[in-house]
A and B are shown apart, each in its own frame.
Chain A
């Protein structure tokens, strides 16, 4: 699939970021989706919201847990996956694809260097 060919980076909080030009698509990793259990609710930010790296960008909830999705990069929210509002199960079914959360217009590309590559992230997971 197309999205696997683009550069995907990861955070320690188990978000993934796919970079396409100046736009970053953000979701949570299969590991995070598995840890949360059945996702029952997703709270997405308003379009136009400015987020800073490490700040709260969205909320994802299962029956017994709630957790923040942190912005992996500083930027402005330009699109959200509103399909998740009606069908939060997509986050479990396809976390790296249809279960994406939001798209950011990246304002500081230098921050990209602070994220993990897929290999680094997999190593990080092994250490948990």
Chain B
């Protein structure tokens, strides 16, 4: 067993030092009734070659996005990740280190977290950002809980154009914490409302100026939480921080991270300085060491579970370390020019696709504004169309009915995401296939 260094001779010698007869003897505190006398009924150990074969067989039963014309988005986006990103995050010192609780020997992690926090502030137009949450949806739930803490109120309003699975995540969390959740708009706000949650670009791809919503929320003493599921959009459109948002949460997967069937991703979380102490999650801060040299530490930990226990701002313990690192490296490679160009290129391709596809008979573009994702209304139920096209080797997008199965109005809606990885011939292939089935 290649991962186990002890030899039988080692074990005997060590048992001698301990004064135990056998390894089993070390388990004598386990009640007899619960001690297994045989191995669990699972296969025996296997070499690398055999494991690779088994895993590759499973992988081969999936259609990878890069192998076909591919248009899925809805909160997870396929972007090209430079080769150096994956090389760097696999360095032992990043991959196999723990949370930086010993700052003297974790400056690498702490400094990139500080750089990441700065990048997130810049992208979102906010004042402080944490070192990440699990993902965008759980980050949104945390933001809602934070708004309830800040305002001392127990009612939240969700935009109807919020990603349905984000809304379900928020609803689940809030129900358990006895916070009322209602779907609505600015008119639904009242002076018992803790926050309004709005996504921009929204679930259907539309872009809106959310300033009037911030104003409406603030007029009721509520916070505005802005959700960004496609972070690349902030290279092209006005950031929520410039439109009055109090908390910005986002999904950072688009930068540096693969699709991974939905996880692991990284939740972005930024807010105003005045709410700093109500934030969940880890924070890296700058300081100096005993010799006066700049260094970084985890700070304001008294908000967190390992110190505050039941009074903590959240139970979160982990962050998305390696995903954050991938994000930070990719964004460093892009820089100002590259990030803006990437955003422009995405919009460019999406406009090209929207124009081409909406010329197909039976296809109507229902989102006049959009960044890299838009909604088409088809003349037939979208789910069946997507399945048919999948059979032809085209992944046409996400049928809205997959996420809103009980909404009859959603049946014919198709979400189409077009990133820089989509080629003009992919768009032609989709247009051609749609023309045949509609």
Contact = CB atoms under 8 A, between A and B. Distances in A.
In-complex A–B contact (CB below 8 Å): yes
Nearest to B298: A63
A64 B277 contact: no
Given A41-B302, A61-B302, A66 B277 contact: no
Contacts of A62: 302
A65 B300 CA distance: 10
B308 interface: yes
B110 to A, nearest CB: 15
A62 B307 CA distance: 11
A63 to B, nearest CB: 7
A89 B299 CA distance: 17
Interface residues of A, number: 8
Contacts of A66: 302, 307-308, 311
Interface string B113-156: 00000000000000000000000000000000000000000000
A41 B277 CA distance: 10
A65 B307 contact: yes
Main secondary structure of the interface of A (DSSP, over half): strand
B401 interface: no
Interface in A27-63: 41, 43, 61-63
Contacts of A64: 301-302, 307
Nearest to B309: A66
A85 B277 CA distance: 13
Contacts, number: 17
B296 to A, nearest CB: 14
A81 B307 CA distance: 25
A65 B299 CA distance: 12
Contacts of B299: 63
A66 B302 CA distance: 6
Contacts of B302: 41, 61-66
A41 B278 CA distance: 13
B290 to A, nearest CB: 15
Interface in B283-330: 299, 301-302, 307-308, 311
A41 B299 CA distance: 12
A63 B277 contact: no
A83 to B, nearest CB: 18
Contacts of B307: 64-66
A96 to B, nearest CB: 24
Contacts of B308: 66
Interface in A53-92: 61-66
A41 B308 CA distance: 14
A65 B301 CA distance: 9
B160 to A, nearest CB: 36
Contacts of B277: 41, 43
A65 B307 CA distance: 6
A43 B301 CA distance: 15
Nearest to A60: B302
A65 B302 CA distance: 6
Residue from B301, B302, B307 with most neighbouring chain A CB atoms (10 Å):
B302
Contacts of A65: 302, 307
A37 to B, nearest CB: 12
Contacts of A41: 277, 302
Nearest to A67: B302
A123 B296 CA distance: 43
A84 to B, nearest CB: 14
A64 B311 CA distance: 14
Contacts of A63: 299, 301-302
Interface in A6-25: none
A60 to B, nearest CB: 10
Contacts of A43: 277
A62 B308 CA distance: 12
Contacts of B301: 63-64
B301 to A, nearest CB: 7
Nearest to A62: B302
A47 B307 CA distance: 28
B273 to A, nearest CB: 14
A65 to B, nearest CB: 7
Contacts of B311: 66
B312 to A, nearest CB: 9
A97 B307 CA distance: 28
Given A41-B302, A43-B277, A64-B307, 10 more contacts: A41-B277, A61-B302, A63-B299, A63-B301, A63-B302, A64-B301, A65-B302, A65-B307, A66-B302, A66-B308
**4 interchain residue pairs of minimum CB distance:** A66-B302, A61-B302, A66-B308, A66-B307
Interface of B: 277, 299, 301-302, 307-308, 311
12 contacts: A41-B277, A43-B277, A61-B302, A63-B299, A63-B301, A63-B302, A64-B302, A64-B307, A65-B307, A66-B307, A66-B308, A66-B311
